[in-house]
Amino acid sequence: MSEGEVFHEKQRLELCAIHALNNVLQERVFTKETADDICKRLAPQCVVNPHRSVFGTGNYDVNVIMAALQSRGLSAVWWDKRRSVQSLCLEKVQGFILNVPSRVSLGIVSLPLRRRHWLAVRQVNGQYYNLDSKLKSPTCIGGESELRSFLNEQLSQDVAEMLLVVQREVEEDGSWLTPDDPRK
């Protein structure tokens, strides 16, 4: 990847968790095989693994994402949606992984179903990007105020959730929150 380029994996099968991980890390680190290995470690005695699709197409859960990040010395901090995104200390956050509702489609036909979808947001070269694997290319969100607006919009959906991707020590000391947040 040359300087100025934004790494962006596109959607394949139900591998959005893998794509979100790689997109937030800005390199191809995880594959279906590494995610399946994590699933086996998380539930070694299970015939039907509860952390992925029974069809073997992906659809990995949050436990796989958290274990994958831990294997890279990172942590996932579950964002409490009752907090304002204004309380985020953005310079301490490497990226964001969101779980949002997504329409199901067969080719060009959109079905009246909603599924869960993982997507990544990250700063690259001073700008924040929506790195959703369903997009044709990364979408520039802009600076910090545009990012906070984007995150507010995403989190306003009832079932949307957000993970902060941070260094382990940032999780441990809680420095991902601004110092003046009373709920720290």
Q: Model confidence over 133-162: pLDDT tens digits?
A: 888 999 999 999 999 999 999 998 878 899
Q: What is the pLDDT of residue 128?
A: 97
Which residues of the chain are modeled with pLDDT < 70?
1-4, 39, 42-44, 46-58, 103-115, 180-184
Q: What is the pLDDT of residue 3?
A: 43
Distance of alpha carbon 74 from alpha carbon 167, whole angstroms: 5
Distance of alpha carbon 184 from alpha carbon 173, whole angstroms: 10
Q: What is the pTM of this model?
A: 0.83
Distance of alpha carbon 162 from alpha carbon 16, whole angstroms: 15
Q: What is the pLDDT of residue 1?
A: 43
How many other C-beta atoms can be found within 10 angstroms of the C-beta atom of residue 108?
5
Q: Which two tokens stand for residue 106?
A: 């067969």
* Gyration radius (Cα) of the chain, Å: 16
Half-sphere exposure in the Cβ direction for 1 (13 Å, CA): 13
Number of residues written out for the chain: 184
Q: Which residues are catalytic?
A: 16, 117, 132
Q: Which fold has domain 15-173?
A: Cathepsin B; Chain A (3.90.70)
Q: What is the pLDDT of residue 105?
A: 56
